[in-house]
Amino acid sequence: MGMSNHPSIVTMPKAEKPYPTILTFLSTRFPAITPETWKKRITEGKVYDGSSRQITVDSEYLPLGRIFYFREVGTEPHIPFTEKILFRDDEILVACKPHFLPVTPGGRYVEECLLNRLRRSTGIEDLAPLHRIDRETAGVVLFSVNKKSRGKYGTLFMNGCVDKTYHAVASCLPTQKPDSWHIENRIERGEPWFRMKSVTGITNARSTIILEEIKGEKARFTLRPVTGKTHQLRIHMSGLGFGILNDRYYPELHAEREDDFSAPLQLIAKELRFTDPLSGQLREFTSDRTLLWW
């Protein structure tokens, strides 16, 4: 059994009275974990509230209160690829992550994630990611080193002040010509829960997609997301009829299987650019990872 050395956090949302029990809330919020498992974790003192007090099965539900717990997995897969630190100072750390490695703990992954790998290699326990990229995607990820300045850097992402550039290779008809598109739509969680979908409604996802070059039945793209919804670029590419090579979710959901390390998703978070909120300097960071292209 693997257990994280760092707590995960879940916030109890606002709810109508009568409030659910803590056990009911956790079991509903994390359906893959049985109520018996949550009860065992609670009785063993592995779940805490926002004041670092151990939660019991009789603890009251507190809307907007936070619960801290430690992720546990049976057998954690090893990702046989390494990350690379591109930059580090007293405020931020920039890393380039490999394909297949999650940014933070999730699912079967606890210590095998970029955050915990970097915590071990740098000794920085307060390290925190300022944004996310998919586990299947490789590329540049920005972390906060200093709690005091973290909010200033986080605001850059919230206000759309970070220019992000991705590279992708997708299937394409040989008759297709270079072109560009600006996509605006609404993306929400679909079924199953880990797969997103486009729906009607107020726009919350925007991307610019540029088809740069075509060779045979493959095309090379530059992608510039304006917003940062989960799986946004994969959905926008699929919606245009260009399925990113080795995408197991879009346009069709493939049967679950072990990772094929020889066939990574052909999507890389290539560049990040922003004006540093403390120094006023232009910051530019580029991944040296490449895609499967002729």
224: tokens are: 């510039």
Find the CATH number of the domain harbouring 16.
3.10.290.10
| Number of independent structural domains in the chain | 3
CB atoms within 10 A of CB 120: 11
**Residue 267 in this model has a pLDDT that exceeds 70:** yes
Average pLDDT over residues 67-80: 84
Whole-prediction pTM: 0.83
- Phi, psi at 26, each rounded to 5°: -65, -40
Same domain flag for 62 and 117: no
Find the CATH number of the domain harbouring 243.
3.30.2350.10
**Residue 1 in this model has a pLDDT that exceeds 70:** no
Same domain flag for 13 and 139: no
Provide, rounded to the nearest whole percent, the portion of the chain with pLDDT above 70: 98
What pLDDT does residue 179 have? 96
Of the ranges 26-40, 150-164, 171-185, which one carries the lowest mean pLDDT score?
26-40
pLDDT digits over 279-291, tens only? Answer: 999 999 999 999 9
22: tokens are: 């803590």
Same domain flag for 58 and 184: no
**Residue 245 in this model has a pLDDT that exceeds 70:** yes
User: Which of 19, 39, 73 is the last residue before a domain boundary?
Assistant: 73
What pLDDT does residue 294 have? 61
**Residue 210 in this model has a pLDDT that exceeds 60:** yes
Contact present, 252 and 198 (Cβ < 8 Å): no
**Residue 188 in this model has a pLDDT that exceeds 80:** yes
Q: Does 124 reside within a domain? A: yes
Same domain flag for 153 and 180: no
Q: How far is it, in rounded angstroms, from Cα 256 to Cα 99?
A: 17
Average pLDDT over residues 270-276: 98
pLDDT digits over 82-129, tens only? Answer: 999 999 999 999 999 999 999 998 778 888 999 999 999 999 999 999
What pLDDT does residue 2 have? 61
Contact present, 49 and 66 (Cβ < 8 Å): yes
Concatenated DSSP letters of 44-110: TT-EEETTSPBP-TTPPP-TT-EEEE--EESSPPP-----EEEEE-SSEEEEEEPTT--SS-BTTBS
Same domain flag for 127 and 190: no
What pLDDT does residue 192 have? 84
Q: What is the mean pLDDT of the chain?
A: 92
Q: How far is it, in rounded angstroms, from Cα 21 to Cα 58?
A: 8
In this prediction, residue 51 has a pLDDT band, given cuts at 50, 70 and 90, of confident
Q: Does 291 reside within a domain? A: no
User: Which of 73, 93, 111 is the last residue before a domain boundary?
Assistant: 73
Average pLDDT over residues 250-266: 93
Same domain flag for 183 and 264: yes
Same domain flag for 88 and 127: yes
Q: Cβ contacts of residue 178 below 8 Å, gap of 6+?
A: 210, 211, 212, 213, 214
What pLDDT does residue 174 have? 83
Of the ranges 28-32, 44-48, 177-181, 225-229, which one carries the lowest mean pLDDT score?
28-32
Domain that holds residue 140: 84-161+276-286
Same domain flag for 128 and 141: yes
User: Which of 19, 48, 73 is the last residue before a domain boundary?
Assistant: 73
Q: Decide which of 76 and 157 is more confident.
A: 157
Same domain flag for 262 and 171: yes
Q: Does 79 reside within a domain? A: no
Q: Does 134 reside within a domain? A: yes
**Residue 71 in this model has a pLDDT that exceeds 80:** no
| Nearest CA among 279, 245, 241 for reference residue 262 | 245
Same domain flag for 136 and 282: yes
Of the ranges 56-60, 105-109, 116-120, 161-165, which one carries the lowest mean pLDDT score?
105-109
Q: Does 293 reside within a domain? A: no
Q: Does 78 reside within a domain? A: no
What pLDDT does residue 155 have? 96
Rounding to the nearest 10 degrees, give the CA dihedral for residues 271, 272, 275, 276: -120
Q: Does 11 reside within a domain? A: yes
Same domain flag for 169 and 264: yes
**Residue 4 in this model has a pLDDT that exceeds 80:** no
Same domain flag for 25 and 55: yes
Instruction: Say if strands 8-11 and 66-69 run parallel, antiparallel, or are unpaired.
Output: antiparallel
**Residue 278 in this model has a pLDDT that exceeds 90:** yes
Question: What amino acid occupies position 260?
Answer: D
Q: Does 292 reside within a domain? A: no
Q: Cβ contacts of residue 231 below 8 Å, gap of 6+?
A: 134, 187, 195, 196, 249, 250
**Residue 275 in this model has a pLDDT that exceeds 60:** yes
Which DSSP category does 256 fall into? P
